[in-house]
Amino acid sequence: MIPMSLAQVAAVTGGKLSETADPQALVTGGVEYDSRKAGPGGLFLAIPGAKADGHDFAAKAHAQGAVATIATRPIDSPAVYVDDAIAALTLLAKHVASVAKARIIGVTGSNGKTSTKDLIGQLCARLGPTVATEANFNNELGHPYTVCRVEPDTEYLVLELAARGLGHITQLCEIAPPTIGVVLNVGISHLDGFGSIETTAKAKSELPRFIGADGSVLLNADDPRVAAMADVTSASVARYGIREDAEIRAADIDPRDGRHAFTLVTPAGAARVELNLWGDHHVYNALAAAGVLWKLGAAPDEIAAGLGEAGRLSERRMDVFTRPDGTVVIDDSYNANPASMGAAVRALGQLPTGGRRIAVLGLMADLQELEEECHRRLGEQARDAGVDEIIAVGDGTQPIIDGADGVTATHVPDQAAAIALLENRLRPGDAVLVKGSRYRTWDVADHLRAKEETDQ
C-alpha cells in the first residue's frame, strides 16, 4: 500500500484510534481481511461473518506484524475504530488511488472479464510494476482490496469491474477512476439483477460514460451493443475485432489445435500472434489486451510476444490438462452463461483427440424466463461443435438433452451421478469438458483433476 501513518488512516476513513494505537506508526503493507495473510506493516480488516468474526483474530494479526486492525467493536490490540469496515476500506482505496501514480485500466463485459484482465495484467507487467485484480475480486470488497495493494512504484493498476445491477460499475469507477476502459461484450447473464439484455448494455456502458475526454476506451467492434457505446463517452475511442474497419483487428486467423494464431493489425503496424490459451474466444480477449497496450505505447512486436507468452492465471477457466490414462480434461467450471458455454463447447470441438469428445454441462443460472431456451440452444451448439456425448447435470438441464438431437445424451440428477457415469464411460484418449454455473460441476472437475498428470 502507499505508506500512511495510523493518524492518516483514521483521518481518511473517519475513524478513531484506540488508546493502544500509535498515531505515527507507519502502514507500509497491504490490507488483509484474512488473518492468515496479515503481515508486517499491514492493516487487518475485521469483518463480522456468518461463520466467523474477524475481530476474534485481531490479536493474531497483530502478532504477525499488522500495525493495527480496522474494527467496528472494541478489541485488545491497536485499532482504528469505524462504523462500517467495508466503507472504511472503500475510503482508504479512494485515497490510495488519488495519490498513486499508476495508470488505471478498467475491464468490463458479460463474459471474459477475468481472462482479459489477466492478459492485460501480464502484458502491463512487461512494461512496469503492475497490480491486477486477483481471480475475480471484482465486487464491493475485492475491488477496494485490490486498489489498496498499489505501492509507490506501481505503474499500472488493472481492475475487473463487475455488476449485477445499474450503478454498480459507476460506484467502482468512483473508487479508482480509470483512464483506459475496455468493454468486451454484452450478453445474457445475471438477468435476475439486470432484467434484460438492454439493461445489461446500459450497465456496461457506465464504464465508457465515466471516462473523460483525457481518457481512452476500447470497444468490441463486432458487438453492436458495445460498438454503440462510442456515442456515450467523451473519451477517445478505438475499436477492436475482426471487422476491416477496426483499429485493432485480427487477420488470417488460424484455429490450429484450439490455441489460435492470427495477425495482429494495429495503427502502428502488424505482428503475428500465437496464443497459448485454448478457445476462439481468446482471440477477442487478446485483441482487447492488445488495444490497451497500443494505447500505452507498446509496439506490435512487443504486444505479440507478450500475448504468446501469456498463460492462464485464474483457476477453473479453460484449464486443459491430461490424465495418466490419456484423457484430456478442459476444466472451465468456474461459472457459465450462454456465451461462455458456447465458447467452451467450440473449444472442445477443436481439441485434437483420438477418442470421443464428452461435455459435462451444468445449469446456467440467473437466466429467468430464458432458461429453457438458452439450455436447449446449448444442446444444439454442442451437437454442431462435434461433441460426441453430453452429460447434463442437475435440475433445469433437461433442455440441453432436448436440443442435442442426434448426440448421445444423458441427464443425471447430481454431480455424484455424473462422476459415476463418467467412470463407466471414459476410455483412454477421450476429451472431457466440465462447465456450469458456480459449484454445479466443481465436484466433477475435482474428481477428474485427482488423476491429473500434465497441463497442456
Q: Is 342 exposed, middle or buried (0-12, 13-18, 19+ CB in 10 A)?
A: buried
Mean pLDDT of 12-34: 96
- Give domain status of residue 95, yes or no: no
Let me know whether 394 and 418 are in one domain. yes
Model confidence at 456, pLDDT cuts 50, 70, 90, reads low
- Give domain status of residue 255, yes or no: yes
Mean pLDDT of 377-385: 98
Distances 366 to 28, 188, 354, 371, 417 between C-alpha atoms, Å:
41, 9, 36, 8, 24
Q: What is the pLDDT of residue 93?
A: 97
Q: Is 80 exceeded by the pLDDT of residue 189?
A: no
Let me know whether 421 and 331 are in one domain. yes
If you search the block for the grid coordinates 476506451, which residue do you land on?
217
Question: Lowest-confidence range among 128-142, 365-379, 425-439?
Answer: 128-142
Let me know whether 79 and 153 are in one domain. no
CATH of the domain at 239: 3.40.1190.10
Q: Is 90 exceeded by the pLDDT of residue 53?
A: yes
Model confidence at 452, pLDDT cuts 50, 70, 90, reads low
CB atoms within 10 A of CB 76: 11
pLDDT per residue over 241-296, tens digit each? 999 999 999 999 999 989 999 999 999 999 999 999 999 999 999 999 999 999 99
- pTM assigned to the model: 0.92
Q: Which structural domain, as residue segments, surrounds residue 336?
A: 319-455
- Give domain status of residue 344, yes or no: yes
If you search the block for the grid coordinates 445475471, which residue do you land on?
190
Least Cα distance to 332 among 352, 351, 356, 315 occurs for 315
Let me know whether 114 and 211 are in one domain. yes
Strand partners, 180: 105, 216
Q: What is the pLDDT of residue 139?
A: 84
Let me know whether 290 and 338 are in one domain. no
Pairing of strands 248-254, 261-266: antiparallel
- Give domain status of residue 266, yes or no: yes
Q: Is 370 exposed, middle or buried (0-12, 13-18, 19+ CB in 10 A)?
A: middle
Q: Is 90 exceeded by the pLDDT of residue 453?
A: no
Which amino acid is it at 91?
L
Let me know whether 302 and 420 are in one domain. no
Pairing of strands 180-183, 156-160: unpaired
Let me know whether 48 and 197 are in one domain. no
Let me know whether 248 and 343 are in one domain. no
Let me know whether 349 and 439 are in one domain. yes
Let me know whether 188 and 108 are in one domain. yes
Let me know whether 304 and 324 are in one domain. no
- Give domain status of residue 314, yes or no: no
Q: What is the pLDDT of residue 192?
A: 67
Residues 6+ apart with CB under 8 A from 200: 110, 186, 187, 188, 189, 190, 191, 194
- Give domain status of residue 226, yes or no: yes
Mean pLDDT of 164-186: 96
* Rounded Cα–Cα distance for residues 157 and 101 (Å): 10
Domain boundary residue, one of 282, 309, 336: 309
Domain boundary residue, one of 84, 112, 139: 84
Q: Is 90 exceeded by the pLDDT of residue 422?
A: yes
pLDDT per residue over 347-362, tens digit each? 999 999 999 999 999 9
Mean pLDDT of 210-233: 98
Q: Is 80 exceeded by the pLDDT of residue 190?
A: no
- Give domain status of residue 91, yes or no: no
When divided into structural domains, the chain yields a total of: 3
Mean pLDDT of 22-32: 96
Let me know whether 446 and 368 are in one domain. yes
Q: What is the pLDDT of residue 193?
A: 66
- Give domain status of residue 206, yes or no: yes
CATH of the domain at 48: 3.40.1390.10
The set of long-range contacts for 72-78, using a CB threshold of 8 Å and a minimum separation of 24, is: 72/46, 72/48, 74/18, 75/18, 75/46, 77/20, 78/6, 78/17, 78/18, 78/20, 78/21, 78/22, 78/25
Pairing of strands 103-108, 31-32: unpaired
CATH of the domain at 326: 3.90.190.20
Model confidence at 194, pLDDT cuts 50, 70, 90, reads confident
CA quadruple 29, 30, 33, 38: dihedral positive or negative?
A: negative
Domain boundary residue, one of 26, 51, 84: 84
Mean pLDDT of 76-98: 97
Query: Could you tell me if 183 and 220 are in contact, meaning their C-beta atoms sit under 8 angstroms apart?
Result: yes
Mean of the per-residue pLDDT values of the chain: 95
Mean pLDDT of 15-26: 97
